């Protein structure tokens, strides 16, 4: 354990140093939606609320503002920690930085989701991508582009429904990752984390959340509601995904950015 920790301490600064040094040649893309009362949350989850505690000119003549906020862990651009669907696995504050930082591949299936809101990304989608771009490199961050970012923050189009509560859950229709493809990523490739530009790594009508279970049982965290994925190339982007460090949390708001080559 001490050896692994030492390696992580050495590797993470090198990854960040490489990314920021290369910034002179590339540009940065923000893959994060702002949190607001417009943010899309799961129909049964507490939405984001911002409360004004103080705002204005004080008695001493200077401007001062302060706010409080409340929200469910899993809404807006956020991370699912492994413990979200795998008992005894890593909480959000336990995820190594090395898993959240690295080179990304973007698998674009947006052409297939226009006619089928319930599309599930298949192993064939992955291998077809590899036929063009080469094998998914070991230790990649895999980002899946469904094209649903075009609907944000319109919940009706993004989720398939604007209903809240359990009725809203039953009416969800959006694409996700097929459980067999999740298993393939775990068994046949070596990936750090997986992200998607829809509301869940499992498609909207999933009842067992098998892709969540498969990935998280292997300590692979998931990024959901990732923004601006259409601005990323299939290969070459360098991703930094830093969540709010909630002790014992099953997830939390995520600030995710990418450097373009």
Alpha helices by DSSP H, the chain: 2-21, 97-100, 110-113, 123-133, 155-159, 165-170, 179-188, 210-217
70 phi and psi, to 5 degrees? -140, 150
Q: Tens digits of per-residue pLDDT, 54-85? A: 999 999 999 999 999 999 999 999 999 999 99
| Domains of the chain: residue spans and CATH | 24-45+73-259 (3.50.30.50)
* CA dihedral for 139, 6, 243, 15, sign (positive or negative): negative
Average model confidence (pLDDT) across the chain = 93
- Residue 255 three-state SS: strand
CB 95 within 8 A of CB 9: no
The strand pairing partners of 64, in sequence order, are 56
CB 153 within 8 A of CB 39: yes
Burial call 13-33: b when 16+ CB within 10 Å, e when fewer: eebeeebeeeeeeeeebebbb
pTM (global) more than 0.95: no
Q: Tens digits of per-residue pLDDT, 199-248? A: 999 999 999 999 999 999 999 999 999 999 999 999 999 999 999 999 99
Number of helical (H) and strand (E) elements in the chain, helices listed first = 8, 12
- DSSP code per residue over 52-93: EEEEEE-TTS-EEEEEEEE--SSBSSEEE-GGGTSTTS--GG
Q: Tens digits of per-residue pLDDT, 112-144? A: 998 899 999 999 999 999 999 999 999 999 999
Q: Which of 176, 201, 219, 241 is nearest to 31 (CA)?
A: 241
């Amino acid at each position: 354990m001490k050896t692994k920790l030492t390696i992580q301490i050495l590797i993470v600064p090198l990854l960040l140093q490489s990314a920021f040094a290369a910034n002179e040649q590339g540009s940065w893309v923000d893959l994060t939606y702002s949190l607001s009362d417009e943010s899309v949350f799961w129909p049964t989850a507490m939405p984001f609320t911002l409360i004004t505690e103080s705002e204005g000119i004080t008695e001493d003549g200077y401007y001062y503002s302060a706010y409080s906020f409340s929200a469910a862990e899993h809404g807006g651009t956020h991370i699912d920690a492994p413990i979200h669907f795998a008992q005894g696995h890593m909480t959000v504050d336990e995820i190594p930085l090395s898993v959240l930082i690295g080179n990304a591949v973007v698998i674009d299936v947006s052409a297939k989701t226009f006619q089928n809101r319930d599309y599930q990304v298949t192993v064939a989608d992955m291998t077809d991508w590899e036929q063009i771009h080469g094998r998914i490199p070991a230790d990649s961050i895999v980002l899946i582009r469904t094209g649903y970012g075009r609907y944000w923050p319109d919940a009706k189009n993004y989720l398939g429904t604007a209903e809240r509560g359990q009725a809203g859950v039953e009416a969800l229709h959006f694409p996700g990752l097929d459980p067999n493809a999740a298993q393939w990523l775990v068994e046949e490739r070596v990936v750090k984390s997986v992200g998607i530009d829809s509301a869940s790594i499992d498609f909207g009508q999933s009842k067992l959340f098998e892709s969540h279970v498969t990935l998280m049982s292997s300590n692979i965290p998931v990024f959901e509601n990732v923004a601006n994925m259409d601005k990323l190339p299939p290969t070459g982007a360098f991703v930094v995904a830093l969540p709010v460090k909630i002790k014992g949390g099953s997830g939390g708001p995520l600030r995710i950015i990418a450097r373009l080559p």
